[in-house]
Amino acid sequence: MDNTDRTETGYSTSLLRRAALLAVLFAGGVVFLGAYTRLVDAGLGCPDWPGCYGHVLWPTEAGEIAAAEAAFPDAPVDLSKTWPEMVHRYFAGTLGLIILGFAAWAVRGRGRPDAPPLGLSLLLLAMVILQGAFGAWTVTLKLWPQVVTAHLLGGFTTLSLLWLLCLRTGALGEPQRFGVPAQLLPHAVLALVAVVLQIALGGWVSSNYAALACPDLPTCHGAWVPPMDLEAGFDVTQSVGPNYLGGLLENEARVAIQYVHRVGALVVAALVGALVWRLFQAGSRLAAPVGLVLAAQLTLGVLNVVLKLPLWSATLHNAVGALTLLALVTVNYAAVYRRRGPEPATLRSLPGRPVAA
């Protein structure tokens, strides 16, 4: 390893960057597995938490399955659902340990340029603890839509914060290399807010099983404005349980959720599309990536309706939604960097380069 890749403390800053990138990849896997688990209706594949029918993994032998069903008579064992739930839990638990490691690293190296930013690391730790609670409540509250949606948003937030860690440590290079003008910041913030709200709407669609409430496109049940029940569709005070598997809302309430999600998609397309055009005019390297993920996400949304929600398309829709969010986080970070100037010396410099004053 080149000596210029080390700080005065003897630690390698490249180690932090590699660790941050690996954490992002792992978090992306957790988000993907969470989407898959939800889409195959495996959210209650294990009726208890943190184990599965009292097992560290899940019951597989005939005797174990019989004992599990005797202990949980209202939850027969379905092996096609137990393993996705437990694999997701173990990946999420491992991610929690990784983030705990970042927090310990940040506390131990507080004030040193070779350690993760302390505030961001502690925020990540708080978020992953909250995510663990949401994971438990998802099971104990029987897929209550409010908790399922919050759990989804927590996963996307954790992924975004880890991506921000990559950006702040210079894992993707100097922010000015992206060529995002500072004057685009208000537009970029507005686009980011729209994408976050659309992700929340997508979570609400999924948790209320409203993805196919409108079977046609671009109309819904043959109408541009179909009969819908907005009040019931967005009633966040609905009571808990007894079990939301398959959904409990009437069709007009689900139509309302799906319809608002479609309107949100148009708003996101307009805002992010306009931002892509402005990035292109500015010669930004981010114009093409942001435009590609936006086009892919809109295409997958259409395919979900046309193909009646195939598993591959629905799962990819979640994954590309995450990529869209990360793309907007990058644009915002690059614009903020341009507006504020180089980061303080407490943050990292690139290997072989002096830390910016």
Residues 6+ apart with CB under 8 A from 274: 187
Q: Among 132-141, 226-235, 278-287, 294-303, whose mean pLDDT is lowest?
A: 132-141
Q: Which residues neighbour 173 within 8 Å (Cβ) at sequence distance 6 or greater? A: 350
Catalytically active residues, by annotation:
85
pLDDT for the residue numbered 346? 40
Question: How remote is the C-alpha of 5 from its chain's centroid?
Answer: 32
Confidence category of residue 78, pLDDT binned at 50, 70, 90? confident
Is residue 297 pLDDT above 60, yes or no? yes
Give pLDDT tens digits for 331-344: 999 999 887 765 54
Q: How many C-beta atoms lie closer than 10 Å to residue 279's C-beta?
A: 26
pLDDT for res 342: 56
Name beta bridge partners: 12: 6
Name the least confident of 246-255, 268-277, 291-300: 246-255
User: Is the Cβ–Cβ distance between 244 and 206 less than 8 Å?
Assistant: no
- Among 105-109, 119-123, 349-353, the range with the most confident prediction by mean pLDDT is 119-123
What number is the average pLDDT over the span 162-191? 91
Q: What pLDDT score was predicted for residue 53? A: 87
Is residue 316 predicted with pLDDT exceeding 90? yes
Question: Measuring CA to CA, which residue among 117, 179, 160, 165 is closest to residue 325?
Answer: 160
pLDDT band at 39 (very low <50, low <70, confident <90, very high): confident
The Cα–Cα gap between 126 and 104 comes to: 13
pLDDT score, position 354: 36
**Amino acid, res. 331:** V
Give the whole-angstrom CA distance, residue 84 versus residue 52.
11
Alpha helical stretches, state H, 7-76 = 13-39, 62-71
Output the pLDDT for position 352: 35
Q: Is the pLDDT of residue 284 over 90?
A: yes
pLDDT digits (tens, 9 = 90+) for 53-62: 888 888 888 8
- Residue 345 pLDDT: 44
Give the confidence band of 327 by pLDDT, cuts at 50, 70, 90: very high
Per-residue model confidence (pLDDT) at position 8: 39
d(CA 318, CA 316) in angstroms, rounded, equals 5
Q: What is the pLDDT of residue 50?
A: 86
Dihedral sign for Cα 144, 150, 152, 154, please: negative
Q: Tens digit of pLDDT for each residue in 1-23?
A: 343 444 433 344 788 888 899 99
| Residue (of 20, 348, 27) closest to 166 by Cα position | 20
Question: How do residues 207-233 score in pLDDT, each as one tens digit?
Answer: 899 999 999 999 999 999 999 999 999
DSSP state of 238: P
Predicted model pTM: 0.85
pLDDT band at 236 (very low <50, low <70, confident <90, very high): confident
What's the pLDDT score for residue 7? Answer: 43
253-271: pLDDT as tens digits: 999 999 999 999 999 999 9
Kindly report which listed range (71-80, 92-101, 139-148, 348-357) carries the lowest average pLDDT score.
Answer: 348-357
